[in-house]
Chain A
């Protein structure tokens, strides 16, 4: 799956990879984040 040019829904998790970190990474690959969330189940 090529990320470049894709719109991306980011679902991060506090105990895994957080949303803003994923956002930075996919931006560097040329994708556009359209929703960025970080779930927390504590």
Chain B
């Protein structure tokens, strides 16, 4: 599906926002969407899309969300997710 979207819109101005529950799954999504499927099994095997990947809870993204909307949808989840670890994991993949 992601590849279809990129074929349709191109990569310019397209970013990915994740809602994954932990650092490991966030890293795996980011690795796949930046460098291609590391398991070499899915449709993105060998396809390096090099997309900007962020998590919805990362401070850089969170700060741009309307506070009322954030409160309604994300505030409670912030307690359950380890945002610091997720951000660390994504930074690792983004920095190569």
Interface residues of A (CB under 8 A from B): 1-13, 15-19, 21-22, 24-26, 28-30, 34-35, 37-38
Interface residues of B (CB under 8 A from A): 1-2, 5, 9, 13-22, 25, 29, 51-52, 54, 56-57, 60-61, 64-66, 69-70, 72-74, 77, 81
A7 to B14, Cβ gap below 8 A? Answer: yes
The A-B contact count (CB < 8 A) is 101
Q: Which of B15, B66, B72 lies in contact with A1, CB distance below 8 A?
A: B15
A26 to B65, Cβ gap below 8 A? Answer: yes
Residues of A within 8 A of B74 (CB): 17, 21, 25
Cα(A17)–Cα(B81), bound, Å? 9
B5 to A28, Cβ gap below 8 A? Answer: no
User: A25: shortest Cβ distance to chain B, in Å?
Assistant: 5
Please provide the 4 A-B residue pairs with the shortest distance between their CB atoms, ordered closest to farther: A17-B19, A16-B21, A28-B66, A12-B19
Cα(A35)–Cα(B33), bound, Å? 14
Cα(A21)–Cα(B56), bound, Å? 10
Contact A22 B14, CB 8 Å, known A16-B77, A28-B65, A35-B5: no
